[in-house]
Structure 1
Amino acid sequence: MKFSIAPLKSLSSLQTDALIVFLHQPGTSCGLVEADVVDPFAAEAVQDGDFSGALGTTYIRSRPASLAARRLILVGLGAAPASSAGWLKALQAAAAALKPLAARQVHLLAADGESFLAEFAPRAFGEAAYRYTATRKVEADKAYKVDAVHVLSRHPRQAAVLKAQLARAEDIQAGVDLTRNLANLPANHCTPTHLGRVAQDLGKRHGIKVEVLGRGEIERLNMGSFLAVAQGSEQAPRFIVLRYDGAGKKDAPHVLVGKGVTFDTGGISIKPAAEMDEMKYDMSGAASVLGAFEAIARIKPRINLVGLIPATENMPSGSAIKPGDVVTSMSGQTIEILNTDAEGRLILCDALTYAERFKPASVVDIATLTGACVIALGHVNSGLFSPDDALADALLEAGRQAQDSCWRMPLSDDYAEGLKTHYADVANIAGRAAGSVTAACFLQRFTKAYRWAHLDIAGTAWKSGAAKGATGRPVPLLVSYLLNCAGSAPKA
Structure 2
Amino acid sequence: MTIQFSTKVLADIDFKSPKGAAAVCGLSGDCLVVAYRANELSQLEALDDLLGGAISEARSVGDLDGKAGACTLLRSTRAWALNNVKLKRVLLVGLGDNESLGDFAKIARSILKAVSGGSIQSVLWHTSSFVGKQKSNQSPTAIVERIRLLAQIVGDQVYRFGVRQEQFKTKPLEKPDALQQFTVLSSAKQASLVKAAVHEGSALVEGMNLTKDLGNLPPNVCTPSFLAQTALNLPKKTKLKVQVLNQQQIEALGMGSFLAVAKGSDTPPQFIIMRHDGGKANEDPIVLVGKGITFDTGGISLKPAADMDEMKYDMSGAAT
Corresponding letter in the other structure for 1:130: Y
Q: Does 1:63 align with 2:76?
A: yes
Q: Which has the higher contact order (CA 8 A, sep 6+)?
A: 2
Q: Does 1:145 align with 2:145?
A: no
Match of 1:92 in 2: 109
Deviations 1:233-264 (A, max 9, x none): 22322211111223444433211110112228
- Once the two structures are superposed, the pairs formed by residues 120-269 of structure 1 within 5 Å of their partners are 120-132=149-161, 133-134=164-165, 135-136=168-169, 139=172, 142-153=175-186, 155-206=187-238, 208-263=240-295, 267=299
What is the distance in 2 between the residues matched to 1:138 and 1:62?
Answer: 35
Question: Per the alignment, do residues 22 and 197 of structure 1 end up closer, same or farther by CA in structure 2, a change over 3 Å counting?
Answer: same
Relative distance call for 1:92 and 1:218 in structure 2 (3 A) is: same
Letter in 2 for 1:123: Q
Cα distance in 1 for partners of 2:219, 2:8 equals 40
Question: 1 CA distance for matches of 2:223 and 2:122?
Answer: 39
Describe the SS at the equivalent of 1:257.
coil
Counterpart CA distance in 2 for 1:214 and 1:265 is 16
**Taking every aligned residue pair, what percent have the same amino acid on both sides?**
36
Q: What secondary structure, in the 3-state scheme, does the structure 1 residue paired with 2:284 have?
A: coil
Tell me if the contact between 1:28 and 1:42 (Cα under 8 Å) persists in the aligned partners.
no
Is 1:29 the counterpart of 2:41? The answer is yes
Change (3 A) 1:65 1:77: farther
In structure 2, distance between residues paired with 1:199 and 1:192: 11
Taking the aligned partners of 2:290 and 2:39, their CA distance within structure 1 comes to 45
Distance 1:137 1:117 in 2: 39
CA distance in 2, matches of 1:35, 1:84: 27
Deviation at 1:223, TM superposition (A): 2.0
How far does residue 90 in structure 1 lie from its aligned partner after superposition?
A: 1.6
Report what 1:20 is aligned to.
33
**Alpha-carbon distance between aligned partners in 1 of 2:42 and 2:277, rounded to the nearest angstrom:** 46
C-alpha distance 268-126 of structure 1, shift in aligned 2 (>3 A): closer
When you count strand as a share of all residues, which structure comes out higher? 1
Q: For residues 199-348 of structure 1, what are the structure 2 equivalents within 5 Å?
A: 199-206=231-238, 208-263=240-295, 267=299, 270-288=302-320
SS of the equivalent of 1:260 reads: coil
Q: How many residues align?
A: 285
- TM-aligned CA deviation for residue 201 of structure 1: 1.0
Contact 1:64 1:71 in 2 (8 A): no
Q: CA RMSD in A?
A: 3.1
Quick one: distance in 2 between partners of 1:203 and 1:55? 42
- CA distances 1:347-388 after superposition (whole Å, capped 9, x unpaired): xxxxxxxxxxxxxxxxxxxxxxxxxxxxxxxxxxxxxxxxxx
In structure 1, what is the Cα distance between the partners aligned to 2:47 and 2:145? Answer: 21
For residues 98 and 262 of structure 1, what CA distance do their matches in structure 2 show? Answer: 38
Alpha-carbon distance in 1 for matches of 2:52, 2:68: 18
Q: Structure 1 stretch 133-142 or stretch 96-105: which is displaced more?
A: 133-142
Letter aligned with residue 191 of structure 1: T
Relative to structure 1, is the Cα distance of residues 221 and 116 closer, same or farther in structure 2, using a 3 angstrom cutoff? closer
Of residues 5, 13, 28 in structure 2, which corresponds to 1:2? 5
Q: Deviations over 1:102-139 (max 9, x none)?
A: 22221112524254553233223222332322223785
Moved over 6 A (4+): none
SS for the counterpart of 2:92 is: strand
Q: Does the CA-based 8 Å contact 2:69-2:93 persist in structure 1?
A: yes
Q: What does the per-residue CA deviation read over 1:64-84, in whole Å, with 9 as the maximum and x for residues that have no partner?
A: 56443211222232214x211
- Superposition TM-score, scaled by structure 2 size: 0.76
Answer yes or no: is the 8 Å Cα contact 2:211–2:319 preserved in 1: yes
Task: Give the C-alpha shift of residue 183 in structure 1.
Answer: 1.6
User: In the superposition, relative to structure 1, how do residues 117 and 40 fare at CA in structure 2: closer, same or farther (>3 Å)?
Assistant: farther
Q: Distance in 2 between matches of 1:46 and 1:275?
A: 53
SS at match of 2:316: helix
**Counterpart in 1 of 2:147?**
118
Deviations 1:1-33 (A, max 9, x none): 131133223254443210111233x48727346
Residue aligning to 2:17: none
Name the CA distance, whole Å, in 2 between partners of 1:140 and 1:15.
Answer: 32
Letter of the 1:85 counterpart: G
Partner secondary structure for residue 299 of structure 2: coil
CA distance in 1, matches of 2:145, 2:79: 28
Shift of 1:44: 5.0
260 and 34 in structure 1: CA distance in 2 versus 1, 3 angstrom threshold: same
TM-score by length of 1: 0.51
Distance 1:29 1:256, change over 3 A: same
**Structure 1 counterpart of 2:97, from 57, 71, 79:** 79
